[in-house]
Structure 1
């Protein structure tokens, strides 16, 4: 009889389920709005990460063509035809050729040199600005996502306190839902912010490496134009592989004896 009463009491007791969806449903429109903002931040961060990574890899891979083929040409105009039309390196060469055409209009050689140097510097700044586009979004996500999650945490704790005040007691069924929602929002905010910060720092470091390559290439262009093509960077070519020498054919002892006979 006692076991039957306990089973009946257990069946009559309310069954409270706790989980992510239950916590979000208890949070209502505010919790779903904060979650939507965090999801948008995360999707945007990964989109910028992959698109900028592909863009950087393209620029770096094109630099090998610049080092191997461009400087082997007889002139800059001929070398420009060996570069991709929409590449950053082609843009630098085209801007250098435009500055060279305007060089004849300069009466003072010093002013002409400064004009060409400034033209190449502006071209570098334009390329670097394009490569850096989207990175401010990553920095913004990394700086604000934890606070967006913290907003959900504050609202969840506030709702927990209200439920405690209404119920008059801090029972687990009144507190677990809002507190669980608060902890979930904090975790999601960190999960959004940490990858964004890592992606920003990584892409920023790669952009600095590309900026160094662009600066060196523009310096070589300026030296080549100022010397009328006499100054060129040294292009090293990989030594050709020679085929290994053929080993002399060996004959079996029986065959050599037959030949002697």
Structure 2
């Protein structure tokens, strides 16, 4: 590049960008920041919940009775999905035994009431795990097109400026058009992490919910019969469960 050639690059593009182009850049920056925030916080939260769930499940399977588990949960508020599920299931079972049917949502047998409680709790955990995923999906699907819009807008203004100046040689056209293509690259740079993060979080959520659903089956068996059902061999292992019917 000689001294007579104007400098090109992202800085020059920003200097030449109008209000629309700058608005698109700000929008992309906000979308990128939101995506990375959700990705990092979700993955950190998943790692913490996985560690806490592993510790709770180890305690649960080694507890002598559900009364011991209930006492532990009452002392320490549930801070992960599995202890949260156990807490609501035990509360529902005790409430139905003590108070019977007082309202429509308590209708049916104790097993029916506990089943509805387990289902409701799993639905709440699903909603909690999936919060923020809509933002990631939206950013991943729209960022490339927003970047393309910025590119088209930039190329349009670059061509208008070239037409006004009357300098239509390749060296005069390549710089402004190349600068406008930066917007497409920015759109891809925003979209790709959002898509990868979305897929990673969805997979982690799917594994967590599958484990939670399987645990809910065992928990229901504990509350109803005081035994854990061995799904592999079809055997039933008795456990000491206070008040089991």
Residue correspondences, number: 221
Return the match for 2:56 from 66, 74, 80.
66
Corresponding position: 1:95 with 2:88 = yes
Shift of 1:137: 0.7
Shift of 1:111: 3.6
Shift of 1:75: 2.6
Q: Is the 8 A contact 2:148 2:183 kept in 1?
A: yes
Q: Is the 8 A contact 1:99 1:116 kept in 2?
A: yes
Q: Is the 8 A contact 1:41 1:141 kept in 2?
A: yes
Structure 2 residues without counterparts, runs of 5 or longer = 231-245
- 1:64-143 matches, within 5 Å, as 64-82=54-72, 85=77, 86-104=79-97, 105-106=100-101, 111-143=109-141
Shift of 1:71: 2.4
Return the match for 1:210 from 202, 208, 211.
208
Distance in 1, Cα, partners of 2:143 & 2:28: 7
Distance in 2, Cα, partners of 1:122 & 1:185: 45
Corresponding position: 1:43 with 2:33 = yes
Greater CA radius of gyration, 1 or 2? 1
**Normalising by the residue count of structure 1, what TM-score does the alignment of the two structures yield?**
0.77
Distance in 1, Cα, partners of 2:228 & 2:45: 28
Shift of 1:167: 2.6
Q: Which residue is equivalent to 1:182?
A: 180
Match of 1:232, SS state, is strand
Shift of 1:180: 2.3
Q: Is the 8 A contact 1:70 1:82 kept in 2?
A: no
Q: Is the 8 A contact 2:53 2:81 kept in 1?
A: no
Distance in 2, Cα, partners of 1:197 & 1:33: 23
- RMSD over equivalenced CA pairs, Å: 2.4
Shift of 1:110: 6.1
Shift of 1:233: 6.4
Q: Is the 8 A contact 1:80 1:94 kept in 2?
A: yes
Match of 1:69, SS state, is helix
**Normalising by the residue count of structure 2, what TM-score does the alignment of the two structures yield?**
0.81
